[in-house]
Structure 1
């Protein structure tokens, strides 16, 4: 599973109150590893890499992005990410 897919999975599990405030990338990485969804390849800054990937998806996909930035450094799932049924087919259209 890619880091972006794992991040979307973790954010999808958030309680409603937590989804409003979002989650920092550092905590996202901790939860992704704890849940066994993703493991860092040993890089020095996996949080910076994930942050960059999320920002890139938001910028490129705009309304189709799975993520939404709620404050500096914090992200949540886009409101309709679950309704749209984001899939690998959509991801490969880059």
Structure 2
């Protein structure tokens, strides 16, 4: 079953896939405004790019949830080590 955007009478993948892929550094437009811009822009951009892969129109090209979780885990580890090194006064990796 595919998500459907009733206002445009289109599949959500048709609407959101291109929007996510074309946003470049505009990932902040997708982030909840209640965060008051208190988030890492790079993290938001990476997550938007990952989301774009997952909502692609071609089902066979979409990553599995296992692949998505693996990518998220790898990115989270990198972000955590970067934050940890900054908190210890070390230069960026």
Q: Which has the higher contact order (CA 8 A, sep 6+)?
A: 1
Structure with the greater alpha carbon radius of gyration: 2
TM-score w.r.t. the length of structure 2 is 0.32
In terms of fraction of residues, the more helix-rich structure is 2
TM-score w.r.t. the length of structure 1 is 0.32
